[in-house]
Amino acid sequence: MTQISRRALLSTAGAFAVSACSPESADASVRQYANSPFRRLTDAQWRARLPAASYQTLRHEATERPYTSPLNDEHRAGTFVCRGCDLPLFRSQWKYDSGTGWPSFYEVIAANIGTKTDFAIGFPRTEYHCARCLGHQGHLFMDGPRPTGKRYCNNGVALRFQPA
């Protein structure tokens, strides 16, 4: 029988624990973008690329104040893309007024997001992020309209709208 040292056992257990916490661990959609050049940008490069509110939201999971996003009133045909890397996330026909003050969608381009459990406010929520640049977008709630019953509650500063 091979004897395993306590240090090796703890190191291996620690590596598994860290990998389980990674947003990449559970989402194949996130792994497909693992070699994206957006993943190699430094914090300083992100700060230089993005407006301050977008930077705080996408890179540090801030939340914009409700009813402040011009995208709340965006009703044209088109696509909502990640403000950090332009990856398409939502089609305009999936957008609806949730009454929450944030752009909300009942469907998402599933291959282009990743999710993780967020305990920031003391109880678990599902946070979703751009699969390519890992930029924080918002949270998923199960109180949306038919046909999905989902509400992707997005920070407007984390999106850019591309008209059709």
How far apart CA 162 and CA 164 sit, in angstroms, is: 7
Alpha carbon 152 to its chain centroid, in Å, reads: 10
How far apart CA 54 and CA 146 sit, in angstroms, is: 30
153 in active site: yes
Which of the following is catalytic: 85, 130, 133, 153? 153
* Strand order, beta sheet including 78-82: 88-91, 78-82, 159-163
Q: Please count the residues of the chain.
A: 164
CB within 8 A of 12, min separation 6: which ones?
A: none
b/e sequence 132-148, b meaning 16+ C-beta within 10 Å: bbbbbbbbbbeebeeee
Residues annotated as part of the active site? 153
